[in-house]
Chain A
Amino acid sequence: MRAEPPPRPSPLSYAERPATKVPNWHGLVVLDVLFNNLSTGLYLCAAVGELLAPAAFAGVAPWAYRAALAFLVADLVCLILDLGDPLRFHHMLRVWKPSSPMSLGTWALVGYSLAVGLLATAGLLPGAAAFDAGRRVLVLAGMVPALAVALYKGVLFSTTAQPGWREARWLGAFLVNSAFHFGAALTLVLAGLLRQQDAVAGLRAAAVALGLLHLGALLLVVFDIAPFLRAVRSPARLVELGLVVVGAGILLPMLCFSLGSRGGDLLGLAAMLAGGIMARDELVHLPHRLQHAAGGAAARLRA
């Protein structure tokens, strides 16, 4: 738990200061967004695979659900620790309030936790195979909260008053597409490690094609927030960011996945994670950096 520093008196005039205050969301929120996308992406890819090609995904899906559960637990830990008062996390369950994306996300997380928790542990129970039809219904039903969990986070950021976030109309779309891309990549790696070759071919094609959609959604967000990025980053730094987020995070993985080797898949996934963390760090900290930049620019003008 990190306490916020008390607001210090500023020598800037009121007109020079941003009217808004930035919430104390930092590294834990970056990880939360990442784990959210990893978990939901993994679940959605495994679920679609299991429903469309049950034989090919029979060996992969249970492990994908377990990995999705592990990422979900990590996500929930980040969410709770980032609260000012983590012992009051259950207060989120007091109300059902669709006007608040955070409330909607909370209830979506509850539904998703139940679905992925049951699916991850169902295979461990004796006699579980007898309930195959029920399991398929649960897989399908779990897709609804999984999609809601994947998409609420972007809307949560874009429906704030924070400069940079409030202009990012496509943030929800970006995180959804990113989740699918991550999910396909993770499931592909998992299928490769488990030697489930029947699942690998389809997943490989999906992991490459979903990269294009991921890139398209990212460009839409960048188009929205470009003036703010230029305000906080030098041109050289923007090129570096582009190389990591687009080059390493999307294009390199697409190339790696198309090579068709297990080593290439692992390298592609590692590069995706690096780019994904960088992109999320940049998005989460944009209002913080804008606030610093506003102070710095005003101080320079005065000097």
Chain B
Amino acid sequence: MSRELELTEVAPLPGGESLTAEGLERLIGPFRRGAVPEPAEEMGFYTDTSVCIGCKACEVACKQWNQLPADGFTFSGNSYDNTGALSAESWRHVKFVEQFSVWEAGGGDGGAMPGRWLMMSDVCKHCVEAPCQHACPTGAIIHNEFNNVYIQPDICNGCAYCIAACPFGVITRSTLDNHAHKCTLCYDRQKDGLVPACAKACPTASIQFGPVEELRERARTRVEELRRRGVADAWLYGHEPTAGYSRLNAFYLLLDRASVYGLPEAPRNPWLSMRGDYLRAVLSVLPPLAVLITALLRGR
């Protein structure tokens, strides 16, 4: 039996396409453009860590809805955090910070203060100016109609530049398909008018979903309320732009410094350096070119 005959006898692919058609589709398909959706209201997450109880319902709901694989059963020794980090397989990650020795050692009036838990459900920040989106050379990473950062899984080729660009360490490449994956802010659910799975499952409303402006107002009110009640350290992370970074469409109410939660204290968009770096590189062409020209003219 010839090889050609074998190929023609391969079971047809779903939809009855031949291998040639499949190959052609792989080649041409990525260049097709669909209709651009109409811009919709900007949506996002507001995560109030002051009410997070570390139940991990968000992690479970995210994995269930998005059909993400399990992380395995690995004991980390780091409190109740056995997920470890955000990754292509874990789009929500509940962090556990145990502040016992520090707090018990130094009380405000010399007496020992009770220790405390800080818990936080981390997720992609859906940056308004997203370094991963700037970096992506295939156009796989886009801002969708809800102004959320979305990776088109059929376009990503796993170059990993988005991983290098993200200052929050959100994205990794999947061990299953070698493409980059992260939180989609349940784009599919949003399109059907549903709340993202994690926010739906959160039993304490620590994860809140909605129009971003509304969430910001709600978060500001909550901070004021907490401060009135004596929680002086409450503050918002990412709700306003800074000198080095845009605002985040998934922002947080924190009770300690950002680094305690594993967030960069002052994230900086790498693209702020791009023009200067290009300029230095372009100008640096002139001396070697001048040296080469001089040497070759003299050597004639």
Chain A residues at the B interface, C-beta cutoff of 8 Å: 1, 3-15, 17-25, 44-45, 48-49, 52-53, 56, 83-95, 97, 99-103, 105-106, 147, 150-151, 154-156, 158-162, 165-166, 169-173, 175-177, 180-181, 184, 198-206, 209-210, 213, 217
Select A10's contact among B84, B170, B281, B284, beta carbons within 8 Å.
B84
Q: Is there an interface contact between A160 and B164, defined as CB atoms closer than 8 Å? A: yes
Asked if A166 and B85 make an inter-chain contact with CB atoms under 8 angstroms apart, the answer reads no
Give 10 closest A-B pairs by Cβ, nearest first.
A84-B158, A202-B299, A14-B262, A172-B281, A9-B76, A84-B178, A173-B284, A9-B84, A88-B157, A206-B295
Query: In the bound complex, what is the Cα–Cα distance between A4 and B164 (angstroms)?
Result: 14
Is A4 a contact partner of B175 (Cβ separation < 8 A)?
yes
Q: How far is the CA of A94 from the CA of B288 in the complex (A)?
A: 34
CB pair A160 B165 closer than 8 Å: yes
Contacts A161-B270, A162-B164; A18 near B169 (Cβ below 8 A): yes
Asked whether B273 is an interface residue with its Cβ less than 8 Å from the other chain, the reply is yes
Contacts of B187 in A (CB 8 A): none
- What is the CA–CA distance of A94 and B137 in the complex, to the nearest angstrom? 9
Q: Which of A7, A175, A202 has a CB less than 8 Å from the CB of B300?
A: A202
Are A24 and B281 CB-contacts (below 8 A) given A6-B72, A53-B300, A91-B140? no
A21 touches B172 (CB 8 A): yes
* Extra A-B contacts (20), CB below 8 Å, given A161-B166, A161-B167: A3-B175, A6-B71, A9-B74, A9-B75, A12-B78, A14-B95, A14-B262, A49-B296, A53-B300, A56-B300, A83-B157, A83-B158, A84-B177, A88-B156, A94-B139, A97-B137, A103-B137, A155-B277, A169-B276, A202-B296
A-contacting 9-mer, from B9-17, B128-136, B209-217: B128-136
- The binding surface of chain A is classed by DSSP as helix
Nearest-neighbour CB distance to chain B for A226, whole angstroms, equals 18
A contact residues around B159 at 8 Å (CB) = 83-84, 92, 102
Query: Is B280 in contact with chain A by the CB < 8 A criterion?
Result: yes
Q: Which residues of A contact B260 (CB under 8 A)?
A: 14-15
Asked if B5 is at the interface of the complex by the 8 Å CB criterion, the answer is no
A24 to B178, CA, bound (A): 11
- What residues of chain A lie closer than 8 Å to B298, measured between beta carbons? 202, 205
Q: Check if A213 sits within 8 Å of B285, measured CB to CB.
A: no
Of the candidates A1, A156, A169, A210, the one whose C-beta lies within 8 Å of that of B161 is A156
B83 at the A interface (CB under 8 A):
yes
Judge if B264 is at the interface, Cβ distance under 8 Å: yes
Instruction: Pick 19 A–B contacts, CB within 8 A, sort by A.
Output: A7-B85, A14-B259, A14-B262, A15-B262, A21-B172, A45-B292, A56-B299, A84-B178, A95-B138, A151-B278, A161-B131, A165-B164, A170-B280, A172-B281, A176-B288, A180-B292, A200-B299, A206-B292, A217-B284
Set of chain A residues within 8 Å of B137, measured between Cβ atoms? 92, 95, 97, 100, 102-103, 105-106
Q: Is the CB of B262 within 8 A of A172?
A: no
Which residues of A lie under 8 Å from residue B273 when comparing CB positions?
158-159, 166, 169
Question: In whole Å, how far is A39's beta carbon from the nearest beta carbon of chain B?
Answer: 16
Which chain B residue shows the least CB distance to A52? Answer: B296
Given contacts A12-B78, A14-B95, A202-B300, contact A84 B173 (CB under 8 A): yes
Among B71, B161, B280, B296, the residue within 8 A (CB) of A203 is: B296
